[in-house]
Amino acid sequence: MTDDMSFDSNGKVVQTRLSAAEYERFRRIADEEGITLKEALRRAVTEYTGTREKHDIDDPFFQGAASSGSNAKPDEQLTAEKTDSYLYGDE
């Protein structure tokens, strides 16, 4: 097994306190999956942040979609309106 911090030399160390029951459940699941507690915690953090993180409004992908309304060609605008109507219903 490699050094835990070898993947990122700027990695941060996080500590927390668990109840005995929480620790035992966590340790048991990690053992069943054949991974270390550190790896189990990394996976838990990835899953937690992945389900709660919002998209970056400064990402060009989202800017293109937001700005296409007024500058879109007539056919593109009509397609977008039809798509919105289909997905969200007539409002």
pLDDT digits (tens, 9 = 90+) for 12-37: 999 999 999 999 999 999 999 999 99
pLDDT higher than threshold 50 for residue 2: no
Q: Does 39 fall in a domain?
A: yes
Residue 67 lies in a domain: no
Give domain status of residue 10, yes or no.
no
Structure confidence at residue 79 (pLDDT): 81
Please check whether residue 9 lies inside any domain of the structure.
no
Structural domains of the chain, count: 1
**Domain boundaries, position 45:** 20-52
pLDDT band at residue 72 under the 50/70/90 scheme: low
**Listed ranges 9-13, 74-78, 79-83; the one with the highest mean pLDDT:** 9-13
Contact criterion met (CB below 8 Å) for 40 and 29: yes
Is 37 within 8 Å of 29 (Cβ atoms)? no
User: Does the residue 70 lie in any domain?
Assistant: no
Kindly tell me if the per-residue pLDDT of 65 is higher than 70.
Answer: no
- Number of CB atoms found within 10 A of residue 70's CB: 6
